[in-house]
Chains A and B, each alone.
Chain A
Amino acid sequence: MTNAASIDIPESATAADYPPIPEPNALTEFFWEGVANHKLLILRCGACGKYIHYPRPICPNCLSMDDLAPEEVSGRGTIYSHTTTVQPFHPYYVDKVPYNLIIVALEEDEEVRITSNLIDYPNDDIRIGMPVQVTFEEVAPGLTLPLFKLA
């Protein structure tokens, strides 16, 4: 799928230079455009108010299709679980292990769960329930991701 929002990276880049790169499609383009502009946008149903993440063309709660729109959220949440990955499963992580992976339950709706990484904090001290705040980091040239810091 050709897409204007496709993330541009240098032609010389190798698999060790980039984590798996999100390839937006018509449903998800808004999310990555938001991230590029340092906004966390979540699709929301205007008819019933439900947040819909990951993006879908229809509201699973009221089946509205025409009234769905991205909405900026606070970026605040709490850690729902976490792990520290020791073994690298992708070339990018060979020199980055151990690294943490967190699941954030979003403040606006704790059923919206976001997979990310916690930065500037020791892996061994991460605990469930810690309050976190989104931050936007360019992890590799041209690739910005929504990461989290302790709030």
Chain B
Amino acid sequence: MSKRDRVAAIGVGYSTTGRRTGLTRRQLVAQAAKKAMEDCGISADQIDGVVLHAGVAGAEPPGLDFIDALDVAQMLGIMPISFYNSDQGGPAYIHAAISAIAAIQSGQAHTVLTVRVINQRLSSAQERDSVQGPMRIGGDSQFTMPFGSVTPIQTISALPAQRHMERYGTTEEQFGAHVISQRANAALNDDALMRDPLTMDDYLNSRFVSKPVRLLDCDYPVDSASAIIFTTEERAGDFAKKPVFVESAALSATDILPAGFEKVVDLNHNSPYHASELMWSRTDLKPADVDCAQLYDGFTIIVFQWLEALGFCGEGEAGSFVESGATRLGGSLPVNTDGGACNVGRRHGANFCIESVRQLRGNESGERQVKDAEVAVWANATGPFSGAVLMTKD
């Protein structure tokens, strides 16, 4: 890609974010979008594209043969794929970002507002107690839910984490080291909701949800909207903030949920590897060039998967890499410098884009600023679908 053809991120913004805000999706989206527009001083007539991701994948009710693009690709043996739409699931915010980047690169639009909005779900007890009468379940979930496989905490977190531990010798303390490290970053971030430092005892004493996953391994459910505006390199200098450039981006699907989750090699080795391979194939930069990594932490094990998939450490070595301190602020590869979704709240990937932009702007991250940060990578989702984006300062 010639320098002139690059895509730039120019404005970022968050809505009010918190537990049970009472805000509707329209309110959340309006707040975040306005903040992003104000951030770069753009007016509505300068934007000609919008991508919103508001979907949350769920179990299929009986009688509905739910199908989306991923099902089509899986059914016909077309996987893996690097482009698709997805009506419900897919890799959340990064799907919107990559759609925008692709549209700008192809000339379909020059400036695109991207938004991820998500409402806090009911508590698990409220959800559980709201089940009226026996539940009948169709689609692929009829092969998993009758056995008590009812939450992603089991499928994309506990089962892969257990396999990572038994296969590679990864320990609870290594998961804990990451949780403690990103909480320390959150303490330096005014946007974070969870800011009290954690000790290893705090981690090991936090209750199990589904072993080996503890409550502190799970992202923090909140109401939130996040917005990022992308534009062409040509226009990028017209706005209030220093632009940050997309060096390369990759969307990936290798299978579907839940059927595809179970087939993931070692339960840990699939779409993030495919996305990483695609992303690195589209740039001359290498993992060693990256100054900070913002890696999706819906659950702790997913950060480990990305560290390995992106090539920052060898397969199965994420535990010792994290334990070495490399991923702390001041280490060789600071990870989740905003505190991650466990601490800034569930924003389904968008916070990792926003934190990358802020780190590369170089003057917005205060005490958590990574010194001389020039290259950042951010990644979203895991298992059968995911994406990764590499961004640069210049």
Type the 1/0 row for B146-172, where 1 means its CB is closer than 8 Å to any CB of A: 111111001000111011001100000
In-complex Cβ contact of B75 among A60, A91, A99 (8 A): A60
> Which residue on chain B has the smallest CB distance to residue A13?
B134
Chain B nearest Cβ from A32, distance in angstroms = 8
Please determine whether B137 and A22 come into contact, CB atoms closer than 8 angstroms: yes
CB neighbours of B136 from chain A (8 A): 20-23
- Asked if B129 is at the interface (CB within 8 A of a chain A CB), the reply is yes
Interface residue ranges of B48-76 to A (CB < 8 Å): 59, 62-63, 65, 74-76
Q: Which of B24-32, B259-267, B381-389 contacts A (4 or more CB under 8 A)?
A: B259-267
A116 to B148 CA separation, bound complex (whole angstroms):
8
Chain B nearest Cβ from A13, distance in angstroms = 5
Q: How many residues of A contact B (CB 8 A)?
A: 56
Please determine whether B159 and A60 come into contact, CB atoms closer than 8 angstroms: no
Q: How large is the interface on B (under 10, 10 to 19, 20 to 34, 35 or more residues)?
A: 35 or more
A115 to B149 CA separation, bound complex (whole angstroms):
8
Please determine whether A23 and B211 come into contact, CB atoms closer than 8 angstroms: no
A73 to B301 CA separation, bound complex (whole angstroms):
33
- Asked if B133 is at the interface (CB within 8 A of a chain A CB), the reply is yes
Please determine whether B148 and A85 come into contact, CB atoms closer than 8 angstroms: yes
Please determine whether B135 and A15 come into contact, CB atoms closer than 8 angstroms: yes
Q: Of A17, A61, A80, A143, which is in contact with the most chain B CB atoms at under 10 Å from its CB? A: A80
CB neighbours of A89 from chain B (8 A): 124, 127-128, 150-151
CB neighbours of A60 from chain B (8 A): 74-77
CB neighbours of B77 from chain A (8 A): 59-61, 63
A110 to B262 CA separation, bound complex (whole angstroms):
11
CB neighbours of B167 from chain A (8 A): 128
- Asked if B210 is at the interface (CB within 8 A of a chain A CB), the reply is yes
- Asked if B209 is at the interface (CB within 8 A of a chain A CB), the reply is yes
A126 to B161 CA separation, bound complex (whole angstroms):
15
Type the 1/0 row for A111-125, where 1 means its CB is closer than 8 Å to any CB of B: 101111100000000
Report how many A-B pairs have Cβ atoms within 8 Å: 163
CB neighbours of A63 from chain B (8 A): 76-77
- Asked if A47 is at the interface (CB within 8 A of a chain B CB), the reply is no
CB neighbours of B1 from chain A (8 A): none
CB neighbours of A56 from chain B (8 A): 74-75
Interface residue ranges of A55-112 to B (CB < 8 Å): 56-61, 63, 80-94, 96, 98-99, 101, 103, 111
In-complex Cβ contact of B129 among A21, A25, A28, A91 (8 A): A91
Please determine whether B262 and A115 come into contact, CB atoms closer than 8 angstroms: yes
Please determine whether A9 and B134 come into contact, CB atoms closer than 8 angstroms: yes
Please determine whether B158 and A20 come into contact, CB atoms closer than 8 angstroms: no
Chain B nearest Cβ from A129, distance in angstroms = 8
> Which residue on chain A has the smallest CB distance to residue B208?
A86
- Asked if A145 is at the interface (CB within 8 A of a chain B CB), the reply is yes
A63 to B78 CA separation, bound complex (whole angstroms):
11
Q: List 20 A-B contacts (CB under 8 A).
A: A1-B63, A13-B134, A20-B59, A20-B137, A20-B145, A21-B136, A22-B136, A22-B142, A23-B142, A31-B143, A58-B75, A60-B75, A80-B262, A81-B160, A82-B162, A83-B154, A85-B148, A87-B210, A114-B262, A128-B167
Report which A residues bind B (CB closer than 8 A). Answer: 1, 9, 13-15, 17-25, 28, 31, 53-54, 56-61, 63, 80-94, 96, 98-99, 101, 103, 111, 113-117, 127-128, 143, 145, 147
Report which B residues bind A (CB closer than 8 A). Answer: 59, 62-63, 65, 74-77, 124, 127-129, 131-138, 140-151, 154, 158-160, 162-163, 166-167, 207-213, 258-259, 262-263, 267
